[in-house]
Amino acid sequence: MNLILLQENDFQDQPRSNNDPAKVILLGQRAQHIQQVLKAEVGQQLKVGLLGGQRGMGTVRSIKPMQCELDVSLNSPPPPKLPLTLLLTLPRPKVARRIIHAATELGVSEIILLNSYRVEKSYWQSPLVDDAHLHNAMLEGLSQSGDTMLPTLQRQRLFKPFVEDQLPELLQQRRGLVAHPYASPLVASTPLTTPTLLAIGPEGGFIPYEFEKLLEAGLQGFSLGERILKVETALPTLIAKLFY
């Protein structure tokens, strides 16, 4: 953890966004991480942040087995989010957590999980992609990147109704891009600063029908070249090329 994420109920008094410290008691995994991984001692300062709020520093006041008491001051905003909505076909459950973690870590603002022909129906029923698992993956991404603001997450299980009825409305205020291994290569440019929707398909890309529907909705197709990448490789590569 590069940032210890705090919840409202960790505070023994009201969370404060000024220089006056508030008392926080952490139990369980976070306390264990502070003791065993960070090897913090009484008086040491740690980077902390309130989920959905400000960042700051926490001074260790006491350490007990599986419990840490901190004096916390919150006085700085989290890093800005990318102006990016990620339209992602539901990955294989075993890698979905890693991909959602990476998207959060990189600063994606919104994530939409989409169905497609190459997404097996069983993926949607897997406990590995339920709300709890993906929420925990996003929390880990925040802690890694020093962020406190969760991306929004929604699921769209019907491809055609979403692409025909909802996607055009989303594109009214966003540039639309769809990564596809058989489209023209991406032309290098300056990092994007305008709101953008980026669609990434399953392994091997969207089927031709789906790709055409996305183009009809207003997305522009592009590729990273001749190599066909796994989604977990393509995602950070695309975001780095477009925004960093």
Give the residue-averaged pLDDT of 207-234. 93
pLDDT score recorded for residue 17? 56
Q: In percent, how much of the chain has pLDDT > 90?
A: 84
- Give the pLDDT band of residue 188 (cuts 50, 70, 90): low
The whole-angstrom distance between residue 174's C-alpha and the CA centroid of its chain comes to 19
197, 238 contact by CB (below 8 A): no
Question: What is the chain's percent helix, strand, coil content, to nearest 5?
Answer: 35, 25, 35
CA angle 88, 91, 97 (to 5 degrees): 100
Q: Give me the residue spans of the domains in the chain.
A: 4-76, 84-243
Q: Quote the crossing angle between the two packed helices 93-106 and 231-243, to the nearest 10°.
A: 10
172 pLDDT higher than 90: yes
Backbone angles phi, psi at 40, to 5 degrees: -70, 150
Is the domain covering 4-76 a CATH 2.40.240.20 domain?
yes
- Domain 84-243's class? alpha beta
**pTM of the model as a whole:** 0.91
Which pLDDT tens digit goes with each residue over 60-89?
999 998 899 999 999 999 999 999 999 999
Q: What burial class does residue 228 get, using C-beta atoms within 10 Å of its C-beta: 0-12 exposed, 13-18 middle, 19+ buried?
A: middle
C-alpha 170, offset from chain centre: 19
The string of pLDDT tens digits covering residues 105-144 is 999 999 999 999 999 999 999 999 999 999 999 999 999 9
Mean pLDDT of 165-190: 89
User: Which tens digits make up the pLDDT trace of 135-169?
Assistant: 999 999 999 999 999 999 999 999 999 999 999 99
Per residue in 41-64, pLDDT tens?
A: 999 999 999 999 999 999 999 999
- Residue located via tokens 């913090």: 40
pLDDT over 80 (residue 16): no
